[in-house]
Amino acid sequence: MRFVVVTGMSGAGKLTAQKMLEDMGFYCVDNLPVPLIVKFAELLYDSERDKVVLGIDVRADQSFDEVMQALKEMREKGYEYEMLFLDASDKTLLKRYKESRRNHPLAMEGRVEEGIKRERKILEETKAGADYVIDTSKLLTRELREELENIFVKNENYKSLMVNISSFGFKYGILQDADLVFDVRFLPNPYYVEELKTKTGNDREVRDYVMANGEAEIFLAKIKDLLDYLIPRYIKEGKNQLVIGVGCTGGKHRSVTLANAIYEALKNDEREYGVTVNHRDLVH
């Protein structure tokens, strides 16, 4: 039997992940009372079900320590499980709560920030011991589904680090959550070419114009060498998400072209990380 425990930060996508796993053939149960967790495992292991998901999270009405003790008891009785932990940055979680207008389960007097801080402290050890940690801060819904399918359906090697490459325009502000920022304003600007002005780095004509400059190819090669050195060390450190910002003046031409080029250079590497690309300021 494949028994998966799904947990993580409130607002990080736990319920979404469970629904996706249910679509993949898993039998899903969410937030059982603590005294029923071990009994549930006993019943399931005696049944004919071969794929089961148990969702757990921090609730104000029960101790998470008791939940973890029940999971420990499961293992002691021979009921093995894998743990999937859904995470997201504090900024992302706060934004999601504000958009949904929901209350955080641990928020005191309605202060979502305090609830997030308390929950992260409670879940610190659980995250460290999880088999899979997926940071959903930058993931689209389809990308989360692909990641879950890779782990639980295709049984591919788990990609512990997600690399997100994002283009942006300096005129709209630097990318606030970037770990690495590269400025490509030294490259020729297609904005000043009349037939390219209204196009973007996603268009072949703009891409060819930017990359035709020998400096763009040299820059791309040096970035690739740097990332080849850094990424394995980030994985060893236990980092779950690496955000790479690529900026130009308006975020439409040069930065989009180079962000796409870095994505293409990384996505074909058979390594222990996933990679996504997005363009923050393409709609301005």
* Sequence ranges of the domains in the chain: 2-158, 162-279
Neighbours of 32 (CB within 10 A): 17
Residue 6 backbone class (left: φ over 0; alpha: ψ -120 to 50; beta: rest): beta
pLDDT by residue for the chain (284 residues), tens digit each? 899 999 999 999 999 999 999 999 999 999 888 889 999 999 988 888 889 999 998 875 568 888 999 999 999 999 999 999 999 999 999 999 888 877 888 776 678 888 899 899 999 999 988 999 999 988 889 889 988 998 898 877 666 788 999 999 999 999 988 999 999 999 999 999 999 999 999 999 999 999 998 999 999 999 999 999 999 999 888 788 899 999 999 999 999 999 999 999 998 766 678 888 999 999 87
How far apart, in Å, are the Cα atoms of 274 and each of 31, 42, 161, 215? 30, 36, 6, 27
Residue 41 CA to residue 140 CA, distance in Å, equals: 32
Residue 167 CA to residue 281 CA, distance in Å, equals: 7
Helices (H), the chain: 14-23, 34-45, 64-76, 90-100, 112-122, 124-128, 141-152, 204-212, 214-237, 254-267
Residue 181 CA to residue 175 CA, distance in Å, equals: 8
Residue 146 CA to residue 109 CA, distance in Å, equals: 38
Q: Could you give the 3-state DSSP secondary structure of residue 223?
A: helix
Angle between helices 141-152 and 14-23 (to 10 degrees): 60
pLDDT, averaged across the chain: 90
Closest CA to 177 of 30, 278, 47: 278
Output b/e per residue, 68-101; b: 16+ Cβ within 10 A. bebbeebeeeebebebbbbbbbeebbbebbeeee
pLDDT of residue 134: 92
pLDDT of residue 97: 87
**Residues 96-113 pLDDT 10s:** 988 887 788 877 667 888
pLDDT of residue 28: 94
How far apart, in Å, are the Cα atoms of 232 and each of 87, 159, 181, 225, 236? 21, 12, 19, 12, 6
Over pLDDT 90: what percentage of the chain?
63
The amino acid occupying position 56 is I
Query: Could you tell me the fold of the domain covering 2-158?
Result: Rossmann fold (3.40.50)
179 exposed, middle or buried (CB, 10 Å; 0-12, 13-18, 19+)? Answer: middle
pLDDT of residue 61: 57
